[in-house]
Amino acid sequence: MERPAWAPRSIDISVPSVSRIYDFYLGGSHNFEVDREAARKAMEFMPGLPKIMQANRALMRRAVRFAADEGISQFLDIGSGIPTFGNVHEVAQTVRPGARVVYVDHDPVAVAHSQAVLDGNTDADVVAADLLKPQDILSSPQVERLIDLNRPVALLLVAILHFVEDADDPYGAVAELSDALAPGSLLVLTHASYEGIPLPAERAGGAVDVYKDIRNPLIMRSREEIARFFEGYDMVEPGLVPMPRWRPETAPEDEDPYAFSGFAGVGRTA
């Protein structure tokens, strides 16, 4: 009788989706006109938005490599969106062949596309589930098949928590996930913030409003609020910093100013 938790009442591709907007920012064509229209509208306020997405992708790449170098071979990427290029499994499996990756998203189109992309990859899979229901994720067959929760896991919450309002208790969800992780696990997290955006806040607010209009409100949090997600974690050097400053491989000064919007950090469970 009950509708599967993840399944929306219907797929309405006339409604913009944040994963397809993200794909558009990254130069992809896995999107529809409604997505592009919303993206272009947001870019009217913040032309450098694609640079922020790109910085997120680059940060994730560095963090995955870092995790792999640390010996971690299991990755749980929640809010994975539309796989385009430089995906976690590509990066991880390059460094550590056989590394196992489970993607999680609640956008059925993103999930369907992920399934197509991952077809034939026995070490990676995708789960249709909601971040706010950690048990649905942790007890999914995909996680049970690919991830051994008794060993360290890299949990990736890249550019997702800023889509969860406080009322939905994102801190609780993160804590519940963290509780399931074995010691030595890593939490990789990026989050949008007014801090670091090379624009007056009211202008950036225009872009935020666009997300509100498409019923995917973007919750800008302060550095302090973002740091609270790492409660119980030991921060990996250099701590919670603008993305280009997290273990850069090239001079941060060369990065686009927009790349410094928001924060990134990696924490390790004790």
Partner 1 sequence: MSAEPDGPEDRLRRFATIWSRAVFPVTSTSSTRPEFEEQLLPLARRLSEALRARAFDQEEARAVGAALVGAHCTDPEALSRTLDCVDAYLVLYCGQGGDPEHLRARSARLQHAMAAGFAQALRERTLAEQEAIAQAALKAQGVVAQALHASEARFRAVFEGAAIGIGIADLDGNILQVNGALTRMFGMSDQQLRGRNAMEWTHPDDAPQTWRLYEELVRGEREHYHVEKAFYRPDGTVLWTNLTVSLLRDADGTPRYQLALMEDTTERRLLNLRLRYEATHDALTGLPNRSFFFERLEKALAAGPGQRFGLCYLDLDGFKTVNDSLGHAAGDRLLVEVADRLQACATAPGEMVARLGGDEFVALTTGPDTAHQVDELAGRIMNALLAPISIDGRELTVRGSIGIVEGPAGERSPAEVLRSADITMYRAKSAGGNRFELADPEADARVITRHGLTTALPAALERGEFFIEYQPLVRLGDGTVRGAEALVRWLHPQHGVLGPDRFIPLAEHTGLIVPLGRWVLEQSVRQAREWRERHGGPDAAGPLRINVNLSPCQLNHPGLVQDTVDILERTGVAPDALCLEVTESALIGADDDLLKPLRRLADMGVDIALDDFGTGYSNLANLRRLPVSVLKLDRSFTQSMQRFPADPVDLKIVEGIVALAHSLDLAVTVEGVETGAQAEQLRILGCDTAQGWYYARPGPPERLHQLALVDATG
Contacting positions for partner 1 (CB under 8 A) = 1-4, 7-11, 13, 20, 25-32, 50, 53-54, 57-58, 60-61, 82, 85-86, 108-113, 115-116, 249-250, 254, 256
In the chain the first and final C-alpha atoms are separated, in Å, by 42
Task: Give the residue with the Cβ less far from partner 1, 87 or 185.
Answer: 87
CA dist., res. 262 & res. 190, Å (int) = 7
Residue 52 vs 192, nearer CB to partner 1 = 52
Residue 25 beta carbon to partner 1: minimum distance, rounded to whole angstroms: 8
Shortest reach from residue 128's CB to partner 1, in Å? 8
Q: Minimal distance in Å, beta carbon 240 to partner 1? A: 21
Q: Which is nearer to partner 1, 9 or 97 (CB)?
A: 9
> Nearest approach, Cβ of 20 to partner 1 (angstroms)?
7
* Helix or strand holding residue 113 (H, E): helix 108-118
Residue closer to partner 1, measured from CB, 36 or 41: 36
Q: Which of residues 31 and 269 has its CB atom nearest to partner 1 in the complex?
A: 31
Alpha-carbon distance 189 to 255, whole Å?
20
Question: Nearest Cα to 198, choosing from 38, 46, 42?
Answer: 46
Which is nearer to partner 1, 156 or 227 (by Cβ)? Answer: 156
Q: Which two tokens stand for residue 103?
A: 């993607």
Min separation Cβ 125 and partner 1, Å: 15
Closest distance to partner 1 from the beta carbon of 193 (Å): 21
Q: CB of residue 231 vs partner 1: minimum separation in angstroms?
A: 29
Of the two residues 224 and 254, which places its CB atom closer to partner 1 in the complex?
254
As measured in angstroms, the least distance from the Cβ of 54 to partner 1 is 6
Q: Side chain identity at 37, as an amino acid letter?
A: E
CA atoms within 13 A of residue 259's CA, in its CB half-sphere: 18
Write the DSSP string, 196-241: T-SS-HHHHHHHHHHHHHTT-------HHHHHGGGTTEEEPTT-SB
Give yes or no for a contact between 16 and 42, defined as CB atoms under 8 angstroms apart: no
- Tell whether the torsion through CA atoms of 80, 83, 85 and 89 is positive or negative: positive
> Measured between alpha carbons, how far is 182 from 125 in angstroms, rounded to an integer?
21
Nearer to partner 1, 64 or 138 (CB): 64
CA separation for the pair 55, 168 (Å, rounded)? 27
Query: What are the DSSP calls for 21-44, one per residue?
Result: HHHHHTT-----HHHHHHHHHHHH
